[in-house]
A and B are shown apart, each in its own frame.
Chain A
Amino acid sequence: MSEERLRKLLLAGGACLAFLFCFAPFGYMVLTGLSVDPDFLRPGADYRFTLDHVASALFSESIHFPAYLRNSLIVSAVSAAVAVLIAALAAYAFTRLALPGKGVILLFVLAVSLFPPVSLVSYLFKAMATLGWINTWPALILPYVAWTLPLSVWILVSYFSQLPRDLDRAALIDGCSRLQVLLRVTLPVAAPGVFSTLLLAFIFAFNEFLFALMLTTDHAARTIPVGIAMFEGLHGQIPWGEIMAAATVTTIPVVVLTLIFQRRIVQGLTRGAVKE
Chain B
Amino acid sequence: MKIVIDHCSMRFRTLRGAVDAVREVSLEIGDGEFFVLLGPSGCGKSTLLNLVAGLEQPTGGEIRFGEETVAAPARRIFRTPRERNVAMVFQSYALYPHKSVFGNIAFPLQVAKEKTERIREAVERTAALLGIEDLLDRKPGELSGGQRQRVAIARALVRRPAVFLLDEPLSNLDAQLRAGTRTELKRLQQELGITTLYVTHDQTEAMTLGHRIALLRQGEVVQVGPPQELYDHPRTPFTATFIGSPPMTLLAASLERGTVHLGAERLELQEEAVPAGLDGKVLLGIRPEHVSLTQEERGLILTGEVRTVEPLGREFLLHVGAGGGEVRVLVAESPPERGNKVRLALHPGKLHFFERE
Query: Does chain A have a CB within 8 A of B123?
Result: no
Q: A169-B55, A175-B81 are in contact. Are A274 and B94 (CB under 8 A)?
A: yes
Closest to B143 in A: A272
- Pick from B81, B96, B141: contact of A172, CB under 8 Å: B81
- Pick from B53, B92, B93, B148: contact of A173, CB under 8 Å: B53
Q: A164-B92, A173-B55 are in contact. Are A272 and B82 (CB under 8 A)?
A: no
Query: Which A residues are in CB contact (< 8 Å) with B95?
Result: 170, 272-274
B92 and A275 form a contact (CB under 8 A): yes
Chain B nearest Cβ from A165, distance in angstroms: 9
B98 and A177 form a contact (CB under 8 A): no
Query: Does chain B have a CB within 8 A of A4?
Result: no
B98 and A189 form a contact (CB under 8 A): yes
Please measure, in the bound complex, the distance between the C-alpha atom of A174 and the C-alpha atom of B90, giving whole angstroms: 12
B94 and A164 form a contact (CB under 8 A): yes
Cβ contacts A156-180/B at 8 Å (1 or 0 each) = 0000000010110111111111001
Query: Which B residues are in CB contact (< 8 Å) with A271?
Result: 97, 140-141
Which residues in window 261-276 of A have CB below 8 A to B?
269-275
B111 and A174 form a contact (CB under 8 A): yes
Which residues of B line the A interface, CB within 8 A?
A: 53-55, 80-82, 86-88, 90-98, 107-108, 111-112, 139-143, 145, 148, 155, 172
Query: Does chain B have a CB within 8 A of A233?
Result: no
Q: A271-B141, A273-B97 are in contact. Are A174 and B172 (CB under 8 A)?
A: no
A173 and B139 form a contact (CB under 8 A): no
Please measure, in the bound complex, the distance between the C-alpha atom of A272 and the C-alpha atom of B148, giving whole angstroms: 8
Q: A172-B81, A173-B55, A191-B98 are in contact. Are A275 and B93 (CB under 8 A)?
A: yes
Query: Which B residues are in CB contact (< 8 Å) with A269?
Result: 97-98
Which residues of A line the B interface, CB within 8 A?
A: 164, 166-167, 169-177, 180, 184-185, 188-189, 191, 269-275
Please measure, in the bound complex, the distance between the C-alpha atom of A65 and the C-alpha atom of B210, giving whole angstroms: 75
B90 and A166 form a contact (CB under 8 A): yes
- Pick from B87, B96, B139, B155: contact of A189, CB under 8 Å: B96
Please measure, in the bound complex, the distance between the C-alpha atom of A177 and the C-alpha atom of B81, giving whole angstroms: 9
Q: A164-B94, A270-B97 are in contact. Are A173 and B141 (CB under 8 A)?
A: no
B80 and A172 form a contact (CB under 8 A): yes
A274 and B93 form a contact (CB under 8 A): yes
* Additional pairs, 7, CB under 8 Å, beyond known A166-B90, A167-B96: A166-B94, A172-B81, A185-B96, A272-B95, A272-B139, A273-B93, A274-B90
Q: A175-B82, A275-B145 are in contact. Are A188 and B111 (CB under 8 A)?
A: no
- Pick from B53, B111, B172: contact of A175, CB under 8 Å: B111
Chain B nearest Cβ from A183, distance in angstroms: 11
Please measure, in the bound complex, the distance between the C-alpha atom of A120 and the C-alpha atom of B145, giving whole angstroms: 55
B88 and A170 form a contact (CB under 8 A): yes
- Pick from B108, B140, B143: contact of A174, CB under 8 Å: B108
Please measure, in the bound complex, the distance between the C-alpha atom of A180 and the C-alpha atom of B92, giving whole angstroms: 21
Which one of B81, B87, B148 has the highest number of Cβ atoms from chain A below 10 Å of its Cβ?
A: B81
Chain A nearest Cβ from B106, distance in angstroms: 10
B108 and A175 form a contact (CB under 8 A): yes
Chain B nearest Cβ from A175, distance in angstroms: 4
Please measure, in the bound complex, the distance between the C-alpha atom of A180 and the C-alpha atom of B111, giving whole angstroms: 9
Q: A172-B80, A272-B141 are in contact. Are A167 and B94 (CB under 8 A)?
A: yes
Closest to A275 in B: B172
Query: Which B residues are in CB contact (< 8 Å) with A184?
Result: 111
Query: Which B residues are in CB contact (< 8 Å) with A275?
Result: 91-93, 145, 148, 172
Please measure, in the bound complex, the distance between the C-alpha atom of A65 and the C-alpha atom of B82, giving whole angstroms: 54
Chain B nearest Cβ from A51, distance in angstroms: 45
Which one of A167, A169, A173, A180 has the highest number of Cβ atoms from chain B below 10 Å of its Cβ?
A: A173
Query: Which A residues are in CB contact (< 8 Å) with B98?
Result: 188-189, 191, 269
Closest to B99 in A: A188
Chain B nearest Cβ from A173, distance in angstroms: 5
Query: Which B residues are in CB contact (< 8 Å) with A273?
Result: 92-97, 140
Query: Which A residues are in CB contact (< 8 Å) with B88?
Result: 169-170, 173
List 6 interface pairs A-B (beta carbons < 8 Å), by A numbering. A169-B90, A175-B81, A184-B111, A188-B98, A189-B96, A275-B93
Chain A nearest Cβ from B148, distance in angstroms: 7
Chain B nearest Cβ from A26, distance in angstroms: 36
Please measure, in the bound complex, the distance between the C-alpha atom of A272 and the C-alpha atom of B95, giving whole angstroms: 7
B96 and A274 form a contact (CB under 8 A): no
Please measure, in the bound complex, the distance between the C-alpha atom of A270 and the C-alpha atom of B92, giving whole angstroms: 13
Query: Which B residues are in CB contact (< 8 Å) with A185?
Result: 96
Please measure, in the bound complex, the distance between the C-alpha atom of A188 and the C-alpha atom of B96, giving whole angstroms: 10
B139 and A177 form a contact (CB under 8 A): no
For the complex of A and B, list the 8 residue pairs with the smallest distance between their C-beta atoms, beginning with the closest. Answer: A272-B141, A272-B140, A274-B92, A166-B94, A271-B141, A170-B94, A273-B97, A175-B82
Chain A nearest Cβ from B110, distance in angstroms: 9
Please measure, in the bound complex, the distance between the C-alpha atom of A52 and the C-alpha atom of B71, giving whole angstroms: 75
Chain A nearest Cβ from B49, distance in angstroms: 11
Chain B nearest Cβ from A181, distance in angstroms: 10
Query: Which B residues are in CB contact (< 8 Å) with A191?
Result: 98
Chain B nearest Cβ from A174, distance in angstroms: 4
Query: Which B residues are in CB contact (< 8 Å) with A172?
Result: 54-55, 80-82
Query: Which A residues are in CB contact (< 8 Å) with B92?
Result: 164, 166, 273-275
